[in-house]
Amino acid sequence: MNKTNYLIRKETEADFFEVENLTREAFWNVYKPGCEEHFVLHCYRKNPDFILELSLVLELDKKIIGHVMYSRSHIDADDGTQIPVMTFGPISIHPDFKRKGFGKILLDCSMEKARQLGGKCLLICGNIGFYGKSGFAPAAEFGIRYADDPESGAPYFLCKELEQGFLNGISGSYKDPEGYFAAQKNPAAFEEYEKQFPQKEKLRLPGQIF
């Protein structure tokens, strides 16, 4: 395998099903038995906050092995204003290619494209062990609280300024966009959607959080 023989490009409509199946493969049984991330992606493409230019696929030898999507979001600042930011995810790498550096390649490329598009700040929930390598730090260090877990400091709630100093003087709260709860909001639609994919066994595994 030649790791340098990759291409990152915008997702096209012709990629949709392949990318959703990739996302399903990448997240299956990771955080819960089965997964819902592929349905989130499927629904998000119709969401006005979906950033078309930042729905990116990573191809290796002309085969899609990775994908990331971005969404517009905002901080509810303590002074009553809303501060526009971006979030991203799911970010998916096919299981056969995980832990080979492709996730960081895709992340770093997508963040630079987000910066070029005027993005000032990224807020996500994730593992600092991975995201810290790309410059993320706990959002509490920037004065931003996670609305669903304001008391603990939420060490998994992470921030990266794409414009250094953008959050200077800002404090506030952040809530995940409603688009990320598509499966919980419409479980019947999710179950119907899921029927088009190959059957896979849902397993309860150590380390799952839901």
What is the predicted pLDDT for the residue at 210?
Answer: 86
What is the predicted pLDDT for the residue at 152?
Answer: 83
For 80-111, letters b (16+ CB in 10 Å) and e give: eeebebbbbbbbbbbeebeeeebbebbbeebb
Residue 14, C-beta contacts closer than 8 angstroms, at least 6 positions apart: none
Q: What is the mean pLDDT of residues 159-176?
A: 98
Q: What is the mean pLDDT of residues 38-66?
A: 97
What is the predicted pLDDT for the residue at 3?
Answer: 63
The pTM for the full model equals: 0.95
Q: What is the mean pLDDT of residues 37-60?
A: 98
User: Rounded distance, CA 138 to CA 123, Å?
Assistant: 10
- pLDDT tens across 126-161, in order? 999 999 999 999 999 999 999 999 888 899 999 999
